[in-house]
Structure 1
Amino acid sequence: MLYDKDTLLQKGYIIIGNQTQLDYDYIHAKLSTTYWAKKRSFEATKTAFENSFVKLVLHHDKLVGFARLVTDYAIFGYLADVFIDESHRGNGLAKWLVSELLEDPKTVNIKKIMLRTNDAQSLYRQLGFGIAPDPERNMEKIHLNI
């Protein structure tokens, strides 16, 4: 196991999948501090989370982390916006959060899940991710005016 779930639960952490608990102000404020979403608008963040499969980390009922999966629930998923509040890092929460998201009955049978990261490769390797084969086959289209 990559984290001690029982210890985290005893410390008051829980992971939920309830989208009604989304605090868009908090999520947008935190993502605005990241390299990948610092220029994302509030509306774009809200729309992205509303249209994704989301898991949240709560500490004594206060939101301290989140992650989302953009998916069709069968063939493909894209893991995005994994975030743990700075004051709660170092406890294994990101590992637990991503594990809970990927092991959920709704997502466990998705054939391929991809992600992009500049600095967390070691975390994702521990969760079974690896370098995508044939990177020359991967393409993307970016709308620069958005």
Structure 2
Amino acid sequence: MFTISTDKALLDFATIHAYLAQESYWAQGIPEETVRRAIENSVCFGAYVEETHQQVGFARLITDHATFAYVCDVFIVPAFQGQSLGKQLMAAIETYLLPWGCRRWGLVTKDAHGLYEQFGFEVENNGRWMTRKFPDVYRSDGSPP
């Protein structure tokens, strides 16, 4: 019913950008050029309806292929949620990453803990995970963050 691919030639950029810029809670207003650069410099996973090749899901993986991998920009188009497609996407990422032997995989989520826990992710409360945030970097008024 669905296929997962890392072939960037299959990615539907319009779908990806529209979701990230308009529907995601983490990248509202993200410019097209920023998304293009992110895709170019990441391992990308597209989820497609097998019969029509319509892209209905996406995830990006930032990794050095040796010690660390960061999973981000994971989404399933709302009309296709609830069909275990998120699990299929994460299983494909896991299959891709395991042979590399990275000792740490990371991600940040506000609302999908249950999905990621199924793949061995744990919430860290030890105070070691640190971030530096620039929450207004995609402001449309052009002012600096």
Match 2:3 to one of 4, 14, 18 = 14
- 1:53 equivalenced with 2:43 (yes/no): yes
Aligned to 1:141: 132
Q: Post-superposition shift, 1:133?
A: 5.0
1:44-84: per-residue Cα shift (whole Å, max 9, x none)? 11111111111111102111111011000110111001111
Question: TM-score by structure 1 length?
Answer: 0.84
Unmatched segments (≥5 aa) in structure 2: 138-143
- 1:28 equivalenced with 2:30 (yes/no): no
CA RMSD of aligned residues (A): 1.4
Partner-residue secondary structure (3-state), 1:103? helix
Runs of 4+ in 1 over 6 A off after TM superposition: none
Distance of 2:125 and 2:130 partners within structure 1: 13
Q: Post-superposition shift, 1:127?
A: 1.3
Match 1:65 to one of 53, 57, 61 = 57
Percent identity over the alignment is 34
Distance of 1:117 and 1:128 partners within structure 2: 14
Aligned to 1:102: 94
Unmatched segments (≥5 aa) in structure 1: 1-11
Aligned length: 132
